[in-house]
A and B are shown apart, each in its own frame.
Chain A
Amino acid sequence: MPSASPLPRRAAIVGANRIPFARSNGAYARASNQDMLTSALDGLVARFGLAGERLGEVVSGAVLKHSRDFNLTREAVLGSRLSAATPTYDLQQACGTSLQTTLQVANKIALGQIESGVASGVDTTSDAPIEVNDDLRRVLLAANRAKSTAGVLKALGGLRPGQIVPEIPANREPRTGMAMGEHAAQTAAAWGISRTAQDEITVASHRHLAEAYDRGFFDDLMTPYLGLTKDNNLRADSTLEGLAKLKPVFRPKGYPDSEATMTAANSTPLTDGAATVLLASDEWAAERNLPVLAHFVDAETAAVDYVHGDEGLLMAPTYAVPRLLERQGLTLQDFDFYEFHEAFASTILATFAAWEDPKFCKERLGLDGPLGTFDKSKLNVAGSSLATGHPFAATGARIVPTLAKLLAEKSAQEGSDTVRGLISICAAGGQGVVAILEA
């Protein structure tokens, strides 16, 4: 296999800002994507003294997006303290959005096309767009086309009460009609992931996040918003015994012998929030005496056929990681930190199980042997989505700086040796984005 053709240079992760994540219909119920993104950008601008500066670009995106937000990022930048001469574009790749925006900005920096940029993502499930159903939409469009008042009335006269029911976006796969949780439940059953193992991941996520807050880890990664100073999904006192009492949801279809194991706690809740990462060339950072936490090394995106191909909806990272490792000449064990987005605790456990399975690794991944396991004490050590919550498009831009800072801390402790971290994010539509950072 070919190894990576070296990029001209590596993009630096300078720092970040996010707003605390809020459970749906709570603290940010009245905030729009644009409000949250603007605020997160302004916090970043303040942290790095960028008021009035023109950056190479700002790239963001949201999964749940109003049609009027076609230029969401541009509108947020125009409302922010950045120079209005900072270009933007929107990108959307479900839960992979802001790892993908990070990759795009990092690549342009690596190629020398820009010197600095902000990668970000935002989502609200509280201020979600509501659409009219197709019947009503056709009637309204006909009324709009009518030339006379009588024509408008005639068109509207055809309306029936049932047609007025709005369509609220649901977390469902269009091609299977199944909720994401139902897909995940199937995968969990297929890999025999236990309830206890999932609850252990959950408790660890909350405990790690609480510890990170306690040691001030987020002091330079976060800015309060609308009265929230911490992710309000965090349950610092969560215990295995407590979680064991929760009633499971998502019975795995097609696995009559398997119990339901997924609960409201070991699945991520609907969440509102925004996150941003400042990337730059080393030169740009040095000119401003700004720190470099880590460098963006490489990334890989994979997709799986979860519709006909007998693969789990959220299993694409399982495929992306070995391809990335091979290109970089690394093994799964070569990392100091592992940041796996906890869409569901079962998702990451299924991924780990698959990597230990020789048959899966040979037949599906085309490897000679199993990818193996790794030291789980290095997994999500500052908490992850089960504790922080998961505003879909913002999660990548939460994880990148978390890992970058962990690497910077470790590298400062250990001196010159390279430290390395792996990021993995699964996404709706059977996709997955994974990346490597180094410090």
Chain B
Amino acid sequence: MSNDWYSDFVNSGVGRSIAGTVGLPPVPRLRRYEPGQPLLSGAALLGTATADGRVAKVVRSLLTDVGVEVHDDPHAAIGGGSSTSKVAAGIVDATGLSSPSDLAEVQAFLTPVMRRIGPSGRILVIGDVPGEATSPAVRAARRSLEGLVRSAGKEARYGATVNLLHVADGAENDLESTLRFFLSSRSAFVDGQRLDVGTVPGFSGSSQGVDWDRPLAGRTAVVTGAARGIGATVAKTLRRDGATVICVDVPAAGDALARTANDVGGSALQLDITADHAPATLLDHAGRHGGLDIVVHNAGITRDKLLANQDRDRWNSVIDVNLNAQLAINDALLASDVFHRGGRIVTVSSMAGIAGNRGQTAYGASKAGVIGMVDATAPLLVEKDATINAVAPGFIETAMTAAMPVGTREAGRRLSSMTQGGLPVDVAETIAWFAQGASYAVNGQVLRVDGQNFLGA
């Protein structure tokens, strides 16, 4: 981002040497996705912690299918290089742990991986779902992985990420879109996070015949708040992945909305999502496109005030836009055939909804409420083969954050494992992955896209 002067500075020649001398944190340039980019930019190391590992096989077949060089030995020499040359990914199958002692195998694999992982590399730990275990020792071991991953995320440098997947028993073969997301540069700003796959029972779907360069081809999406900021980028990203996009924003933002809609060859719907008629109007407009497959609840507002100075109108406006409007639209989607079988709802929560933020009681309440909505809606959608998930962005470089006071802004950027703000596209990539038909086993999840911001991390 050109408005991140600090990042520009430490990445300039002279800036790099000064930053090195005085100990300023380096700001890595993150590798981001472009169509046609290979899944990984180099070789992968694939470890297995126990003889009972269930997912290594699936990971190996995906990697070899896409032509990635895979080694089991974390000390293996790569492509004529040495046993310390860089790798693009390190993946450890940590399913089947029977006690915390088994964690030593995970450590034994990851220690060399941490030394060898290249810039914007991907470290992925895959474990069982702790809640599925009844034995205290097993559950403890499974749960330990989360602490390991969150800590390793804070150690990994140069844009490398460390994330954890929990795979429900029996969901080993429902991982492809998720593996692709976490290994590719689409997850550039997702770090130190955990995601559960297959944990809402009754899911069904398939990744057969997916065109992974255009995974949303033939699908129709609605994006609210699409006039600018994150929403505009979501519209473009969904379009890039093949979707037809209906762009929604308030009438007063109609000119910017029209630009987004025309940029993505979609249509513009000027609509205040809090209006009583909003759900009906939305479904009616979607009828023009033959129905809806994807709904992205991105529109959101902040009306920051200390709780001591809060008033009812401000409070209600935040709850109405950020939460009530989404609930009303979801009700209408559930009740209507316009929202197709296999549909996807993706909503935007926030770091503030998880960790809280001074001055943001209303906003934090609304964004935490979004998470509750996701929890409760996920099982309701199963009978439509549909899913609902949320992204919780951290500090994302938008007009909103550009207007923050310098101190707050710099803290927002630097106090994270990535030592920088994310870009709207980082949020958009995550949304686009949730929106894929092939992500059918990912339901009821909240994923932070925050470069592992230290706030509430």
C-beta contact mask, A202-235 vs B, less than 8 Å → 1, else 0? 0000000000000010111011110001000000
Known: A43-B255, A46-B268, A224-B255. A288 touches B288 (CB 8 A): yes
What's the Cα separation between A222 and B272 when bound, in Å? Answer: 14
What's the Cα separation between A42 and B265 when bound, in Å? Answer: 12
Residues of A within 8 A of B295 (CB): none
Residues of B within 8 A of A178 (CB): none
B251 contacts A49, CB within 8 Å?
no
- Cβ of B316 < 8 Å from any Cβ of A? no
Residues of A within 8 A of B271 (CB): 219
- Cβ of A255 < 8 Å from any Cβ of B? no
C-beta contact mask, B191-213 vs A, less than 8 Å → 1, else 0? 00000000000000000000000
Distance in angstroms from B238 CB to nearest chain A CB is 15
Residues of B within 8 A of A48 (CB): 267
CB nearest neighbor in B for A213: B251
Residues of B within 8 A of A219 (CB): 251, 270-271
A46 contacts B289, CB within 8 Å?
no
**Which of B129-137, B147-155, B256-264 lines the interface with chain A?**
B256-264
Distance in angstroms from A99 CB to nearest chain B CB is 25
- Cβ of B301 < 8 Å from any Cβ of A? no
A224 contacts B252, CB within 8 Å?
yes
- Cβ of A142 < 8 Å from any Cβ of B? no
A46 contacts B290, CB within 8 Å?
no
What's the Cα separation between A232 and B287 when bound, in Å? Answer: 34
- Cβ of B275 < 8 Å from any Cβ of A? yes
- Cβ of B394 < 8 Å from any Cβ of A? no
- Cβ of A153 < 8 Å from any Cβ of B? no
Count chain B CB atoms within 10 A of each CB in A46, A47, A216, A218 and give the residue with the most: A46
Distance in angstroms from B253 CB to nearest chain A CB is 8
Residues of B within 8 A of A288 (CB): 288
CB nearest neighbor in A for B260: A46
Residues of B within 8 A of A367 (CB): none
- Cβ of B229 < 8 Å from any Cβ of A? no
C-beta contact mask, B69-112 vs A, less than 8 Å → 1, else 0? 00000000000000000000000000000000000000000000
B290 contacts A289, CB within 8 Å?
yes
C-beta contact mask, A302-321 vs B, less than 8 Å → 1, else 0? 00000000000000000000
Residues of B within 8 A of A369 (CB): none
- Cβ of B254 < 8 Å from any Cβ of A? yes
- Cβ of B364 < 8 Å from any Cβ of A? no
Residues of A within 8 A of B267 (CB): 46-49
Distance in angstroms from A408 CB to nearest chain B CB is 13
What's the Cα separation between A220 and B253 when bound, in Å? Answer: 13
Residues of B within 8 A of A222 (CB): 251, 254
Of B251, B262, B265, the residue contacting A229 (CB under 8 A) is B251
Residues of B within 8 A of A216 (CB): 251, 272, 275
Residues of A within 8 A of B247 (CB): 46
A289 contacts B288, CB within 8 Å?
yes
Known: A51-B265, A223-B255. A290 touches B270 (CB 8 A): no
CB nearest neighbor in B for A39: B255
Of A39, A47, A229, A289, the residue contacting B268 (CB under 8 A) is A47
B261 contacts A49, CB within 8 Å?
yes
- Cβ of A390 < 8 Å from any Cβ of B? no
If over half of A's interface residues share one DSSP class (helix, strand or loop), that class is named, otherwise mixed; here it is: loop
B288 contacts A46, CB within 8 Å?
no
Residues of A within 8 A of B251 (CB): 216, 218-219, 222, 224, 229
Chain A interfacial residues counted at CB < 8 A: 23
Of B253, B262, B275, the residue contacting A46 (CB under 8 A) is B262
CB nearest neighbor in B for A17: B258
What's the Cα separation between A330 and B450 when bound, in Å? Answer: 68
- Cβ of B266 < 8 Å from any Cβ of A? yes
- Cβ of A45 < 8 Å from any Cβ of B? yes
Residues of A within 8 A of B257 (CB): 46, 223
8 Å CB contacts to B: which residues of A22-50? 39, 42-43, 45-49
Residues of A within 8 A of B258 (CB): 42-43, 45-47, 223
Residues of B within 8 A of A74 (CB): none
Known: A49-B261, A220-B270. A290 touches B254 (CB 8 A): no
What's the Cα separation between A289 and B265 when bound, in Å? Answer: 16
- Cβ of A81 < 8 Å from any Cβ of B? yes
What's the Cα separation between A289 and B292 when bound, in Å? Answer: 14
8 Å CB contacts to A: which residues of B275-328? 275, 287-290
Residues of B within 8 A of A366 (CB): none
Residues of A within 8 A of B289 (CB): 289
Known: A219-B271, A288-B288, A289-B289. A225 touches B255 (CB 8 A): yes
CB nearest neighbor in A for B246: A49
CB nearest neighbor in A for B252: A229
Residues of B within 8 A of A52 (CB): 265
What's the Cα separation between A48 and B252 when bound, in Å? Answer: 18
B266 contacts A49, CB within 8 Å?
yes
Count chain B CB atoms within 10 A of each CB in A47, A49, A52 and give the residue with the most: A49
What's the Cα separation between A223 and B260 when bound, in Å? Answer: 13
Distance in angstroms from A289 CB to nearest chain B CB is 4
Distance in angstroms from B259 CB to nearest chain A CB is 8
Residues of B within 8 A of A224 (CB): 251-255
What's the Cα separation between A224 and B258 when bound, in Å? Answer: 10
Residues of B within 8 A of A229 (CB): 251-252, 254
B252 contacts A42, CB within 8 Å?
no
8 Å CB contacts to B: which residues of A224-264? 224-225, 229
What's the Cα separation between A51 and B262 when bound, in Å? Answer: 6
A43 contacts B254, CB within 8 Å?
yes
Residues of B within 8 A of A51 (CB): 261-262, 265-266
Distance in angstroms from A335 CB to nearest chain B CB is 28
CB nearest neighbor in B for A229: B252
Distance in angstroms from B455 CB to nearest chain A CB is 36
CB nearest neighbor in B for A223: B254
What's the Cα separation between A220 and B268 when bound, in Å? Answer: 9
CB nearest neighbor in A for B255: A224
CB nearest neighbor in B for A43: B258
Residues of B within 8 A of A220 (CB): 269-270
Known: A216-B275, A219-B271, A223-B270. A49 touches B255 (CB 8 A): no
C-beta contact mask, A72-90 vs B, less than 8 Å → 1, else 0? 0000000001000000000
The 18 sampled A-B contact pairs (Cβ below 8 Å) are A43-B258, A43-B268, A46-B257, A46-B261, A46-B268, A49-B261, A51-B262, A52-B265, A81-B262, A216-B251, A220-B269, A220-B270, A222-B251, A223-B268, A224-B251, A288-B288, A289-B290, A290-B288
Known: A42-B259, A46-B259. 8 other contacts (CB 8 A): A42-B258, A49-B261, A216-B275, A219-B270, A223-B254, A223-B257, A225-B255, A289-B288
B interface residues with partner A (beta carbon < 8 Å): 247, 251-255, 257-259, 261-262, 265-272, 275, 287-290
Instruction: For the complex of A and B, list the 6 residue pairs with the smallest distance between their C-beta atoms, beginning with the closest.
Output: A49-B267, A46-B258, A46-B268, A46-B261, A223-B254, A289-B288
